[in-house]
């Protein structure tokens, strides 16, 4: 008995036509493909370094397998070739984020990212937010692990005595005596237990509160060693006074803030580590340059050959790497996802760093002086 096509998929003329089209037209080279439903809706986006083989594997799918379900609903297959696996990975992510296909899980369930925000209110507070917008606030990030970062920022708020009450406040700082008459009232629970400086009831001066905010800013910029040391001493003092439950709470708070401090340090070093010109061989030996700044692929093009092409490339390298840093409000979830994708690529393939050059080194080698 002749073998039956897997799961009866090829009984449909539409699927036989799709398979024949792939066999006839697709090549085994790096690429990205998309599968589309009867109304043109995106179903799935994928990538492969051997595109033809990957697409043909769908037609051998068994019932219950994900490729079977995808192909069962597919009415059109389209693909495009890219130079190499890195390009395929990047292009796949960007297409998924743009079209949000039904069957994609990675990149559709967007990995969570969060920013630390010091608000621009009259009495600012410290928040974890999913988006950075140009509202005059200070933003730091992006950070992964939103839930952890939110907890750590709450710890930082408590340690520094910053307010966390909702909404803006018309706050009678203790140095604004003209406004205090008739306004002093009992503080909130945090004010009563001493975990908030209580600016709303004149518990501190505006200068004192600003100094606390400056400590938060310095911590989020990477210089929070003094704060961590103070918290460690408070924990040891509580344990020495036999206040073990309080000491344990301080220990947990210290561990979270130490972890956040490492995240901040990693964020700073990531921007420095992931800023370079990356040369990567493509299909059939063609090479491309990727201009990566702070983990974002700002431009890519074939390796320049000839003086004029090198001059154009040198101008682009200067334009990209000498420009002011991208402000956080221009770095939404898609950009954050790209940073972590690029970081993951080099983390899993440390030998790829040998293909990178700093912008200055690249310009010294290929810039106008040598081309003279």
pLDDT of residue 3: 41
Closest alpha carbon to 339 in 47, 144, 127: 144
The confidence band for 169, taking pLDDT boundaries of 50, 70 and 90, is: low
Lowest mean pLDDT among 53-67, 90-104, 219-233, 326-340: 326-340
Span 110-131, pLDDT tens digits: 557 888 999 988 888 999 998 7
Share of the chain above pLDDT 90, in %: 44
pTM confidence score: 0.71
Closest alpha carbon to 153 in 128, 174, 184, 122: 128
The confidence band for 221, taking pLDDT boundaries of 50, 70 and 90, is: confident
What are the structure tokens assigned to 210, written together?
């600003």
Q: How many whole angstroms separate alpha carbon 253 and alpha carbon 261?
A: 12
pLDDT of residue 189: 58
SS3 for 291-307, per residue?
A: EEECCEEEEEEECCCCH
What are the structure tokens assigned to 216, written together?
């938060």
Q: DSSP 3-state assignment of 331?
A: coil
Q: How many whole angstroms separate alpha carbon 58 and alpha carbon 103?
A: 14
The confidence band for 200, taking pLDDT boundaries of 50, 70 and 90, is: confident
Closest alpha carbon to 128 in 139, 117, 120: 117
Packing angle of the helix pair 146-160, 225-240 (nearest 10 deg): 70
The confidence band for 2, taking pLDDT boundaries of 50, 70 and 90, is: very low
- Comparing 64 with 77, the larger pLDDT belongs to 77
pLDDT of residue 300: 95
The confidence band for 322, taking pLDDT boundaries of 50, 70 and 90, is: very high
DSSP one-letter code for 126: E
- Comparing 372 with 40, the larger pLDDT belongs to 40
Q: DSSP 3-state assignment of 40?
A: coil
How many of the other CB atoms lie within 10 Å of CB of 199?
26
Lowest mean pLDDT among 183-192, 239-248, 312-321: 183-192
What are the structure tokens assigned to 55, written together?
């697409």
Q: Domain map of the chain by residue range?
A: 6-99, 154-270, 274-371
pLDDT of residue 6: 45
pLDDT of residue 340: 84
Q: How many whole angstroms separate alpha carbon 151 and alpha carbon 113?
A: 14
Q: Rounded mean pLDDT of 190-215? A: 75
How many of the other CB atoms lie within 10 Å of CB of 358?
12
Span 94-113, pLDDT tens digits: 999 889 999 987 655 555 78
CA 98-102-105 angle, 5° bins: 80
What are the structure tokens assigned to 154, written together?
């709450």
Q: Give 261-327 as a DSSP string.
A: HHHHHHHHHHHHHT-EEEEEE-GGG-EEEEEEETTEEEEEEEPP-SHHHHHHHHHHHHHHHSSPPPP
What are the structure tokens assigned to 165, written together?
């009450």
Q: Rounded mean pLDDT of 192-200? A: 66
Span 22-73, pLDDT tens digits: 999 999 999 999 999 999 999 999 999 999 999 999 999 888 889 999 998 9
Q: Which of 17-26, 156-165, 213-222 has the highest mean pLDDT?
A: 17-26
Q: Rounded mean pLDDT of 236-258? A: 90
Q: Give counts: helices (H), strands (E), the chain.
A: 13, 10
- Across all residues in the chain, what is the average pLDDT? 84
Q: Is the pLDDT of residue 265 over 90?
A: no
Q: Which architecture does CATH list for 6-99?
A: 3-Layer(aba) Sandwich (3.40)
- Comparing 258 with 336, the larger pLDDT belongs to 258
């Amino acid at each position: 008995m002749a073998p039956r096509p897997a799961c009866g998929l090829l009984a449909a003329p539409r699927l036989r036509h799709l398979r024949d089209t792939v066999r006839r037209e697709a090549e085994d080279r790096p690429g990205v493909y998309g599968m589309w439903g009867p109304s043109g809706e995106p179903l799935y986006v994928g990538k492969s370094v051997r595109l033809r083989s990957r697409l043909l594997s769908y037609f051998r799918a068994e019932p219950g397998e994900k490729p079977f379900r995808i192909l069962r609903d597919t009415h059109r297959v389209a693909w495009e070739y890219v130079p190499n696996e890195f390009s395929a990975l990047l292009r796949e992510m960007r297409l998924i984020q743009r079209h949000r296909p039904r069957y994609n899980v990675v990149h559709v369930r967007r990995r969570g990212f969060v920013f630390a925000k010091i608000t621009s209110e009259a009495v600012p507070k410290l928040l974890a937010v999913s988006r950075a917008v140009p509202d005059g606030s200070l933003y730091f990030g992006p950070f992964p692990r939103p839930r952890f970062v939110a907890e750590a920022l709450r710890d930082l708020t408590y340690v520094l005595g910053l307010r966390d009450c909702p909404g803006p406040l018309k706050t009678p700082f203790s140095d604004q005596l003209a406004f205090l008459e008739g306004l002093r009232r009992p503080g909130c629970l945090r004010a009563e237990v001493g975990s908030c400086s209580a600016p709303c009831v004149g518990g501190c001066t505006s200068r004192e509160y600003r100094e606390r905010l400056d400590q938060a800013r310095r911590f989020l910029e990477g210089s929070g060693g003094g704060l961590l040391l103070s918290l460690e001493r408070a924990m040891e003092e509580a344990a020495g006074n036999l206040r073990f439950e309080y000491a344990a709470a301080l220990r947990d708070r210290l561990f979270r803030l130490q972890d956040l401090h490492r995240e901040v340090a990693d964020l700073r070093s990531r921007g420095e580590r992931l800023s370079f010109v990356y040369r990567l061989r493509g299909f059939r030996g063609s090479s491309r340059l990727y201009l990566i700044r702070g983990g974002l692929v700002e431009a890519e093009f074939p390796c320049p050959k000839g003086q004029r092409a090198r001059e154009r490339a040198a101008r682009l390298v200067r334009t990209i790497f000498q420009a002011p840093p991208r402000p956080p409000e221009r770095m939404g979830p898609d950009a954050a996802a790209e940073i972590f994708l690029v970081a993951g690529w080099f983390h899993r393939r440390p030998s790829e760093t040998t293909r990178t050059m700093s912008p200055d080194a690249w310009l010294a080698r290929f810039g106008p002086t040598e081309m003279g």
